[in-house]
Every structure is written in C-alpha cells, then in structure tokens.
Homo-oligomer: A and B are copies of this chain.
Amino acid sequence: MAQPIRLHQVSPLKASCHQCSLSNLCLPLAIEENELDRLEDIVQQGRIFNRGEHIFDQSTPFRSCFAVKSGAIKTSIISENGEEQVTGFFMPGELVGLDSMGSKHYACTARALERTSVCEFPVDKLEELTGKLPDLQHHMYHLMSQEIQGSHQLAMLLSKNTAEERIAALLLSLSSRFQRRRMSATNFSLPMARNDIANFLGLAVETVSRVFTRFQNQGIISARGREVELLDVEALQTVTREFSRQNS
C-alpha cells in the first residue's frame, strides 16, 4: 500500500504564513516572526471551494475558523422558518467563524461566492495557542470585538438609514477593503449578487437595483452587472452622511 507516500504528499498542505502575501492582514500580524512557526504548525492550508459550495453549515459541530486566502465568502443565518439573513461578506485576509468561537456548533452557514481558497484553523489548537501567546489572544479578542462592533454598525445602518445610505456605505466598505489589499479602490467587481446585497442590507432586490441606477444617473458610480466603478467617492461619502446633516 502506498499509505506512507500519501502521508508525505499531505505535507505540502502545511501553511507557510511566512510567505503569504496576506500575512499583514491576517492572524500573523498579531505575533512576532519567531512565533509564526507555532501558528503555521496548527494551520491547514489550501482547501479550495467552488462558487456556491459550503465551507461549513449552521448547527454542525464547530471545528475550525477559516481565513480567506482568495475569493470571497458570505455568511448567513437561517431562522426556524427558513428565512435567510446574510450576516457578512468576507474578503481575503479576513477570518470567518468568529461568531461560533466557544460554541459547540457553527452559528451560521458560510458559502463561497466565487472560487475561494482558505486556510483552516482548528479551534482546539487555536485556543491552546492563544493561551500561550498573549499577543495572539489579544488579537483574537480584538477581531471578535471588531465583529461585534461591525454588527452594531450594521444594526444602526438597518434601523436608521435609507436605502441609498445603506448601499453607499456598503460600496465604501468594499472599496476600502479592496484598497487594503493594494487593489483599486474605485474599480472592482462585486463578489456577490444583488440579491445578497439586498438581503444583507435589509432591502428588496428591486430597491437595490433602483438605487444602483439612480447613482448611475447621478454620475456617482458606473455599474454593469457586478463590475463597478466609483466615479465620485466624495459624493458617496456625502450620501452616508446626508442623514447626519439633516438631523443636526
């Protein structure tokens, strides 16, 4: 049997955070060069998912967090009745699964929006490691608190802002996340469908569509399908603050 050989073939799956171009966005940014090996020891790298495939499913046993290497992921929760709520979009360098930390089961479903590769962090190992590396623990707390804050911001957006404001905010958020990866901040392709945007922002698809065309007519953006160009970032920023000014 070729078992031993197969086992050897697994070894290239070991991650090399050292060489990863995302190391300054991802978990490695939290720790010293000399501790990076210990993170590499627990990471499994290289899993690839096609568009639509599930990375994990709500209510199945929680095993791992995943860092996006390339592509994009959406997470959503399904309520008893089957109603879906998209809870987030995750781009390269971002960590998926934090909402399940310390739980027995995944709190949401994660699905690839396009061909996506991820690094996997088994939680048992991760918790063990954060117990030993205070900086890493601190960073985990930071990431989780960021997610809480983001979620609160979303709640605020949903409860207080108009359709235009919500969409402007999303476009700007995506823009800055592309920029972090040294990609164009004004010219990118949306990883998600209008439907996902609508669901995430608590709007009807039709409304999203209408706002896109309205923005286009105003010369603020140019969009053909998922290809978007932000023509007037200032104007978008103004839209998100529009609300503010009227109430002050």
Contact = CB atoms under 8 A, between A and B. Distances in A.
Interface of A: 77, 79-83, 85, 87, 98-103, 107-108, 127-128, 130-132, 134, 137-149, 151-156, 158-160, 201-202, 241, 243-245, 247-248
Nearest to A104: B142
A240 to B, nearest CB: 10
A95 to B, nearest CB: 12
B140 A244 contact: no
Copies held by the complex: 2
A169 to B, nearest CB: 11
Contacts of A144: 101-102, 141, 144-145, 148
A160 B143 CA distance: 27
Contacts of A134: 127-128, 131
Contact of A159 (B98, B101, B158): B158
A241 to B, nearest CB: 7
B159 A201 contact: yes
A124 to B, nearest CB: 10
Contact of A80 (B81, B98, B132, B244): B244
Contacts of A147: 148
Nearest to A246: B81
Contacts of A151: 148, 151-152, 154-155
Contacts of A244: 79-83
Contacts of A87: 152, 155
B131 A127 contact: no
Contact of A155 (B85, B102, B138, B245): B85
A100 B156 contact: no
14 contacts: A77-B152, A77-B156, A81-B243, A83-B247, A85-B156, A99-B145, A99-B149, A99-B152, A101-B142, A102-B145, A127-B137, A148-B148, A151-B155, A155-B158
B101 A141 contact: yes
